């Protein structure tokens, strides 16, 4: 018996374009265990199921980790300083992105609230979310 090849609901290129065109954060939800991830894959990282469906992720979350970048790569030379972030989204999924204008550790302390900001620039961009905003 030949096991069928796994198939994904979208290609990696489409997944990346989702950030550039649809202005939403796209992820994948497992139909078996309901785990939600921002990471493209062919099988659930929690239970191994291949029953995956596309999901729209929360646009807000909290910083899990961050690092300040003062010496950027060429594409980001006009954006320094900025922060490279790992963000835990409110409804699940962790995603890496960046936040322009960050220049102090206090601005990127773990737990700080941030919001996805659609942008023409590369990568997934976040901005600080003001208290009570």
User: Does the protein bind Zn ion through residue 68 (CB under 5 A)?
Assistant: no
How far, rounded to the nearest angstrom, does the alpha carbon of residue 93 sit from its chain's CA centroid?
Answer: 8
Selected from 25, 28, 30, 95, the binder of Zn ion by CB under 5 A is: 30
Residue 59 phi, psi (nearest 5): -95, 0
Selected from 8, 10, 14, 32, the binder of Zn ion by CB under 5 A is: 32
Selected from 6, 22, 33, 101, the binder of Zn ion by CB under 5 A is: 33
In the bound complex, what is the minimum distance in angstroms from residue 34's beta carbon to Zn ion?
7
Q: Where in 86-115 is the site for Zn ion (CB under 5 A)?
A: none
Taking the C-alpha atoms of residue 62 and residue 47, their distance in angstroms, rounded to an integer, is 25
Contact 84, 96 (CB under 8 A): yes
User: Does the protein bind Zn ion through residue 43 (CB under 5 A)?
Assistant: no
- Rounded to the nearest 5 percent, the helix, strand and coil shares of the chain are 15, 35, 55
In the bound complex, what is the minimum distance in angstroms from residue 42's beta carbon to Zn ion?
12
Rg (C-alpha) for the chain, rounded Å, is 16
Nearer residue to Zn ion within complex by CB, 30 or 102: 30
Chain contacts with Zn ion (rule: CB under 5 A) = 30, 32-33, 35, 44, 46-47, 49
């Amino acid at each position: 018996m030949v096991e069928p090849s796994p198939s994904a609901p979208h290609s990696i290129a489409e997944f990346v374009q989702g950030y550039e065109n649809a202005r939403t954060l796209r992820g994948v939800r497992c139909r078996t265990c309901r785990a939600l991830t921002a990471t493209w894959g062919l099988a659930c990282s929690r239970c191994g199921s291949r029953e995956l469906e596309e999901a729209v992720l929360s646009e807000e979350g909290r910083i899990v980790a961050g690092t300040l970048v003062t010496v950027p790569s060429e594409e980001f030379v006009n954006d320094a300083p900025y922060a490279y972030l790992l963000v835990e989204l409110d409804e699940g999924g962790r995603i890496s992105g960046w936040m322009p204008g960050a220049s102090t550790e206090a601005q990127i302390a773990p737990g700080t609230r941030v919001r996805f900001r659609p942008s023409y620039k590369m990568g997934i961009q976040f901005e600080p979310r003001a208290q009570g905003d």
